[in-house]
Amino acid sequence: MTLDLSLTPENVLVQQAVRDFTAAEILPHIRDWDERHEVHPEVFARMGELGFLGAPIPEAYGGSGMDYTSLGILCEELERADTAFRVVVSVHVGLNSLTLLQWGTEEQKRRWLVPQARGEKLATFGLTEPGVGTDAANLATTARRDGDAYVLNGSKLWISLADIADHFLVFATVDRAAGHRGITAFMVERGMPGLSTATIEGKLGIHAGNTGSISFDDVRVPAEHRIGEEGEGFTIAMSAIDQGRYTVATGAVGLTQACLDASLRYAHERRTFGQEIGRHQLVKQMIAKMGSGIEAGRLLCRQAAWLKDRGMRNTRETSLAKWFCTDHAVASALDAVQIHGAYGYSNEYPVERYLRNSKAAVIYEGTSQLHTLIQADYLLGYREDRPLRCPPLPAQGYERG
């Protein structure tokens, strides 16, 4: 097969639609929202009305039927405006809805996926715990079978949309001694007795987004809410994270583009020693690094999208894109602040917000250190993706078992 990374007319239409949306709904307000730590769910609802919250979900399940390149463009353009709005797509679509599409039964898709794809319900993903981050196989949250239900106890932390989501795809262990083979996935709904959420205050960045915790105190979850079989949860979680990493990578390209946009404007406006600062060689160096990384990052993301659209395994390619793009976003945000000098240190210019927002993405969906090890293991031959034993599903071809 020939690798074709060119944009289709549909991709271009999506790009323009998102730019129009951010120009009207986000950019005029984001400085104030960020400064006041305000979350605006009505903007998320508008994203749902435009089909963004069901972007890659087939129309048969209420979605827009976009390809992965369009999903990437959506995330890039949203984060170019502000990270908080890309995060909504990452957790609602990438981590939750695409996982339901791949692993859910037909009844489960009709119950949860359809309203999520239509933007009628907001969804999130609960894997991280107070004592468990990268070591996802070591969950402390438990699920005990009790007749026709499971009883969940434990807590999740650093969960995007925790305090405003309607649906939660969560992971708990039915047998801690079994390690990752005991992890099982469940769909939990807000309002279930024993389920509570809270918002985390004092974050470094993403002030216009909600991040919080989920607590389970004898939450009784019907057995038909289990996604997949007992013990399949770890595989399900890893397939979801491959989707989430793709959205984070493409979003990071957008944040870097925002850094470049702001830096180019300022490099032409600001004058020192009788000329625009863009004429100075070391400013040019920082500008050139931003631009080259954007081009490289987009190519890595579109390679991953090409594989995803064909149902091919892409763990290695998606990991590389996430690692490169998020690290480059942090470096670019630092350079953007440097180009702006003292003004970059205040919220008079947006680069201060870009720097604060950039840091989270080198932590969630696998730290940069984890992705370094993943890529090294592939190169050394210590890690290898297993071939598929069944036809690929629409989301991604992870095999069961």
Please report the pLDDT score of residue 395 as a whole number: 43
116 in the same domain as 82:
yes
106, 122, 138: which is the final residue of a domain? 122
360 in the same domain as 316:
yes
Question: Residue 228: which CATH number?
Answer: 2.40.110.10
Which pLDDT tens digit goes with each residue over 6-45? Answer: 899 999 999 999 999 999 999 999 999 999 999 999 999 9
Q: Is residue 386 part of a domain?
A: no
Q: Is residue 32 part of a domain?
A: yes
Identify any residues that bridge with 275 across adjacent strands, giving them in sequence order.
272
Q: Is residue 398 part of a domain?
A: no
252 in the same domain as 224:
no
205 in the same domain as 86:
no
Q: How far is CA 395 from CA 33, 262, 323, in A?
A: 34, 36, 22
The owner of tokens 């940069």 is 368
Is residue 3 predicted with pLDDT exceeding 90? no
Of 107, 201, 365, 384, the catalytic one is: 365
269 in the same domain as 354:
yes
User: Phi/psi of residue 88, each to 5°?
Assistant: -60, -45
User: Nearest CA to 159 among 126, 185, 134?
Assistant: 126
Contact 136, 210 (CB under 8 A): no
122, 139, 155: which is the final residue of a domain? 122
115 in the same domain as 32:
yes
Q: Is residue 395 part of a domain?
A: no
User: Nearest CA to 231 among 341, 156, 143?
Assistant: 143
For the chain, what percentages of helix, strand and coil (3-state, to nearest 5) are there?
55, 15, 30
Take residue 180 and report the two structure tokens written for it: 């990752």
Confidence band for 1, pLDDT divided at 50, 70 and 90: low
Q: Is the pTM of this model over 0.75?
A: yes
Contact 99, 108 (CB under 8 A): no
Please report the pLDDT score of residue 143 as a whole number: 98
- DSSP 8-state code for residue 169: E
Helix axes 233-269, 281-309, angle to 10 degrees: 150
Q: Is residue 307 part of a domain?
A: yes
How many domains are contained in the chain?
3
Confidence band for 232, pLDDT divided at 50, 70 and 90: very high
Confidence band for 135, pLDDT divided at 50, 70 and 90: confident
The CA distance from 213 to 384, in Å, is 35
DSSP letters spanning 119-147? TSS-EEEE--BTTBSS-TT----EEEEET
Which residues, 6 or more positions from 322, have their beta carbon under 8 angstroms from its beta carbon? 245, 246, 248, 249, 252, 365, 366, 371
Q: Is residue 399 part of a domain?
A: no
Which residues, 6 or more positions from 318, have their beta carbon under 8 angstroms from its beta carbon? 242, 245, 246, 249, 304, 308
183, 201, 233: which is the final residue of a domain? 233
Is residue 386 predicted with pLDDT exceeding 80? no
CB neighbours of residue 30 within 10 Å: 21
Please report the pLDDT score of residue 387 as a whole number: 54
Q: Is residue 392 part of a domain?
A: no
Q: Is 365 a catalytic residue?
A: yes
Take residue 394 and report the two structure tokens written for it: 């629409």
Question: Residue 25: which CATH number?
Answer: 1.10.540.10
Question: Residue 364: which CATH number?
Answer: 1.20.140.10
Which residues, 6 or more positions from 107, have their beta carbon under 8 angstroms from its beta carbon? 224
Which pLDDT tens digit goes with each residue over 182-203? Answer: 999 999 999 999 999 999 999 9
159 in the same domain as 99:
no
312 in the same domain as 370:
yes
Q: Is residue 337 part of a domain?
A: yes
Q: Which domain holds residue 24?
A: 9-122
296 in the same domain as 376:
yes
Q: Are strands 167-173 and 123-126 parallel, antiparallel or unpaired?
A: parallel
Contact 73, 80 (CB under 8 A): no
320 in the same domain as 197:
no
The CA distance from 283 to 281, in Å, is 5
242 in the same domain as 341:
yes
Contact 78, 141 (CB under 8 A): no
Which residues, 6 or more positions from 218, have their beta carbon under 8 angstroms from its beta carbon? 151, 152, 153, 193, 194
134 in the same domain as 47:
no
